Amino acid sequence: MIQHYKIENITEFHNALEDAKACGLLAIAMLEVSDYSTIFELVNDAGYKSFGKITPTKYIPFTLSRHGSTPIKFLNADDILSRKNLHKININETRIKDKNIAFTGKLQSMTRNEAEVIVSDLGGNFQRTVTLSTNILVVGLEDPRVVGPDGKSNKIKKAEHINSKTNNIEVIDEKEFIQMISR
């Protein structure tokens, strides 16, 4: 997630101080791209009623709100933000409506199936391949073992080839896609 939000200056992973710093910076980054005013709103929307506490004698973990009877599974920050904002979006005003959208690489904030549902819910058309009708190509993390030394997947190469003739395909990264669906 720190890569997704482009958080820098975290040098030692699994070091308590660096991990705490990363969590704080991640919370700030999540608030900056959301409609939440405070971290408390974000935590509450995730189903928790209070932060955990550490005292000299004990540890009190995060607690679920009364309306949550089962433990919450791992929550993806972008999933929370997308769910919170999706119902507010007027489909007729989104840049995704009536657009053909393809994805390449591994998405960090959602699965490919979740991306397909979001695109469809916002009036777009999910494409498994890049074609002349593609309007947007969302680029996730590419596996260098698969794409080779130039770092470009076949979908990226095909989009570049099509754009050399028509310039119809907007190539964006996952963060831009998140911003696009969160408006």
Measured distance CA(94)–CA(148) in Å, rounded? 35
Cβ-count burial 138-157 (b if 16+ within 10 Å, e if not):
bbbebeeeebeeeebbebbe
What single string gives the DSSP state of each residue in 49-84?
EE--EE-SS-EE--EE-TT--SPPPPPPHHHHHHHH
- Spatial strand order in the sheet of 170-173: 125-127, 100-104, 136-139, 170-173
How does pLDDT run along the chain (183 residues), one tens digit per residue? 666 667 777 777 777 887 888 877 887 777 777 777 777 777 777 666 666 666 677 767 766 655 544 443 444 545 544 555 554 555 555 678 899 999 999 888 888 888 888 888 888 999 999 999 999 999 998 887 888 788 889 999 999 999 999 989 999 998 888 888 875
Residues of the chain with CATH 3.40.50.10190: 91-181
Q: Give the pLDDT score at 175.
A: 85
Instruction: Note the CATH architecture for domain 91-181.
Output: 3-Layer(aba) Sandwich (3.40)
